[in-house]
């Protein structure tokens, strides 16, 4: 007989399986060079060259759970396209990294000398004289 002091859910005695609701880290923690290679798909919208060859990526840290922190700068602190670069970064690292944190840094200031030779060739191809 139903006891009015009990709730219907109290009558269910099924054991529920333990479920881990924490984010799933990648099965293999990515190496720094894998992160940098993926970051070559992030293109500076103004210069049309990837952020790695432009020298905008200052450092990459990957912890044991696949969480990635990237120290990165922009060609100018007043760059209006920061959100686009941040979105593209998280998009290209989705599935490779468990989480992505961008640490925007301004020292040392970015200069043209930070552009790789590949980046210089890409800029020359679109008309820049370096």
Tally of domains in the chain: 1
How would you class 128 by CB atoms within 10 Å of its CB: exposed for 0-12, middle for 13-18, buried for 19 or more? Answer: middle
CA distances to 32, 80, 97 from 38, in Å: 10, 23, 11
| CATH number, domain with residue 56 | 3.30.300.130
- Asked whether residue 106 is assigned to any structural domain, the reply reads yes
**Residue whose C-alpha is closest to residue 62's, from 98, 89, 27, 94:** 98
Per residue of the chain (130 residues), what is the pLDDT tens digit? 545 565 555 555 556 555 454 555 556 899 999 999 999 999 999 899 999 999 999 999 999 999 999 999 999 888 888 999 999 999 999 999 999 999 999 999 999 999 999 999 999 999 998 8
Containing structural domain, residue 45 = 32-117
- Asked whether residue 4 is assigned to any structural domain, the reply reads no
- Asked whether residue 20 is assigned to any structural domain, the reply reads no
- Asked whether residue 84 is assigned to any structural domain, the reply reads yes
- Asked whether residue 17 is assigned to any structural domain, the reply reads no
- Asked whether residue 26 is assigned to any structural domain, the reply reads no
């Amino acid at each position: 007989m139903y006891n009015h002091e009990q709730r219907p859910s109290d009558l269910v005695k099924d054991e529920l399986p333990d479920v881990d609701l924490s984010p799933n880290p990648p099965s293999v923690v990515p190496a720094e060079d894998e992160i940098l290679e993926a970051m070559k798909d992030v293109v500076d919208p103004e210069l049309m060259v990837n952020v790695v060859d432009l020298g905008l990526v200052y450092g990459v840290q990957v912890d044991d759970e696949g969480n990635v922190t990237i120290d990165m700068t922009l060609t100018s602190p007043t760059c209006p396209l920061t959100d686009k670069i941040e979105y593209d970064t998280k998009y290209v690292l989705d599935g490779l990294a468990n989480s992505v944190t961008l640490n925007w840094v301004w020292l040392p200031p970015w200069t043209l000398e930070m552009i790789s030779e590949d980046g210089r060739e890409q800029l020359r191809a679109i008309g820049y004289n370096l």
